[in-house]
A and B are shown apart, each in its own frame.
Chain A
Amino acid sequence: MLDLLKSAVREAPGYAEIRYHRRLQTAIDARNGALKRVERRTLAGAGVRCLVDGSWGFVSTTDVTREGLRNAIAEASDAARAGARLRREKARLAPARLGKGEFIYQTCDDEPDIATKIGVVLGAERRMRASSPLVVGSIVIYTEYADEKYIVTSDGAEAHIVDRKPSFHVFATVGRGEERETGGKGWGVTGGWHDLMRKRDLEKMVDEAVDLAVRKLDAGYAKGGQYTVILDPQLVGVLSHEAIGHTVEADFVQSGSVVKDKIGEKVASDLVTLVDDGTMRGAAGMVLVDDEGVLGERTVIIDKGVLRSYLHSRESAAAFDTVPRGNARAFTYRDEPIIRMTNTFILPGDSNLEDMIAGIEDGFFLKEMGQGGQADATAEFMFGIAEAYRIKNGKIGELVKGITISGQAFEVLKSVDAVSGDFELDLGAGHCGKWQPAKVDAGGPYVRCRVTIGGRHE
């Protein structure tokens, strides 16, 4: 395959990259006493990108024969030439450390067969229904991407990548009369089935999801307003990724995000160091070589409160006169690489969680993301919270529901006055969406800060 791609890329008039990507996706979805669906999908093909006269052309095809690739290169370079007449800002590529050779992310020996996996999913779903008479809805979903890629560029990348990213979602709905409440857990890794099972205990997650949903039936609502809160590692990940991370993606910066021209400025508390790092072993956003063939590296975005770096593709790195560190990613062969995060997190500090809670007079202890969560170029964000407890006089109190947090993410980071020594990446279950999905991870320690709580007016 590598030889085929190498000979095809030589026929391109300028810079070209060919990415053959074969994905075998497995989804097992059990709900409400039935196996709702088991799907096994093969999606394979080549994404061809050409740069002619400073303009891109991208063509994707299932035909990966010599002839098919030749046609794709011709079509992509014709499209690029046509685009060059329109495009004002000419694209250039920054020099980069390019991947060459074998990149086997995890060895996944003794991967169980599909019958075993179906059995485990069904067993977890049964356990969920059996765990409380209030359970009216039960969902257990296993998803797995097994990817193989060959990436060749006309300037020297030649990478063969083997990667596997599985995840679990468990979701319980409980009911009493007309009332409905939900509780969910999700986790994901880069690795095999056994790595995923080691990350979290499936049965424990099922029990916790049901328990949370049941407790929410009796929980009250909170009054909205400004509060001091503790964010758990997952929510720190959500804040780092959704609210901060997207604003430092260089394409968002170029279109005027809130951190434009702010490199070197103080944007957060001294306690905050925030990084993006594709090389974190086993994290769901692990990317050793990105889809432009660039090697993954750690990017320090915020260093002790000072904004240091944006996240780049080769094109944006050239525009900013810097180097790319493996943040150009494509979800399938049909997608072109765009600037994405990998694993995004705040580094641990030296506070103790108990002391951090004890220091709050009137606030909330917030755990895990609920449904929804958005942010935009202004870093204004809103996230639903799955599990929220009142903190009064330094003590954790009752569970409250229907909580969202919002604010301006950099203001929130400036308000950080304590960072715990804990560390966990805990956002590997789902996908990040930006025109195309991407598997990412995020997290950090526990963080104490000020946010706006959206609750209900009584």
Chain B
Amino acid sequence: MLKYSIRRLLGMIPMLILISIVVFSLAKLMPGDSLSGEIDPLNTSPEYIAEMREKLGYNDPLPVQYFNWITGFMQGDFGKSTRFQIPVFDLIMEKVPNTLLLGVTALVITYIMAFIMGMYSGRRPYTLGDNAIAGFNYVMLAIPSFVAAVFAIYIFAFQLNWFPFAGSVDILVEEGSFEYYVSRMHHVLLPAIVLGAMSTASYTQFLRNDIIENSRKDFVRTARAKGTPIKKIYNVHILRNSIIPLVTFLGFDFAALIGGAIITETIFTYPGIGQLFLESVTSRDYPTLMALTMLLSFLTLFGNLLADILYGVVDPRIRLD
């Protein structure tokens, strides 16, 4: 297990190198000097620009430039944002907590909804309630997330006035106070519900099918024969076995949340990583763009790896070597 994990982790390195080369080439293909925001955009004298270009190494051969960039990158030097004139690292760090909060809340919502619906469906398969849940899930799966988000804003934020429609916190509340945290939760809830509802369907159907399958197994018959209440059989004996495979979904969710966050954050104008990414594309803020592309690629890779490893952890029958 440990050996497998280490080998997979090492296997990520060539992948990351390849991605970094792709990102570097893409940045070089874009118009303008893309690696740094060091050149003062207000000073347009050709001598100044030529001097700065020489100093920053833009006249070096490409492999040397790549090597310099990647060395800096590994040490946490992501360059300086051309738009904000502050280090990209600080810029990203400023937005990370927001995205993290959104992602975690979305996951919690996914799990709660999937558990309630999945356990109901699994216990009463092929009934009206089960079919209704299946139908609901099918529609949720088909509606594109951005359409769902637009409808959610229209209905819950504008018509019913339950949630704010933009931002991550009220401007008026004082940072650190109790109201501040309430306001943050209030702002994150609607985007998180939309983001979380996307993956609820697959979780629910998986849990349902697993519960139905487990309810036909011998250990359930034994428990029944001994007179264990049905409720206890379902809530303790079966659920404990059916939860385990769900854990593996976590890894894939990681990658899905990244893609989902870009869309959801933009629609809800929620200041997180996804929104920063799109803004850096529109404003041609290349250092930020490159750092974020690398970061998001790394997270996707990491999520896939996590899923593979979790498979082996939760189900010892799967041999990983």
Do the two chains belong together in a single complex?
no
Q: Residues of B at under 8 Å CB distance from A?
A: none
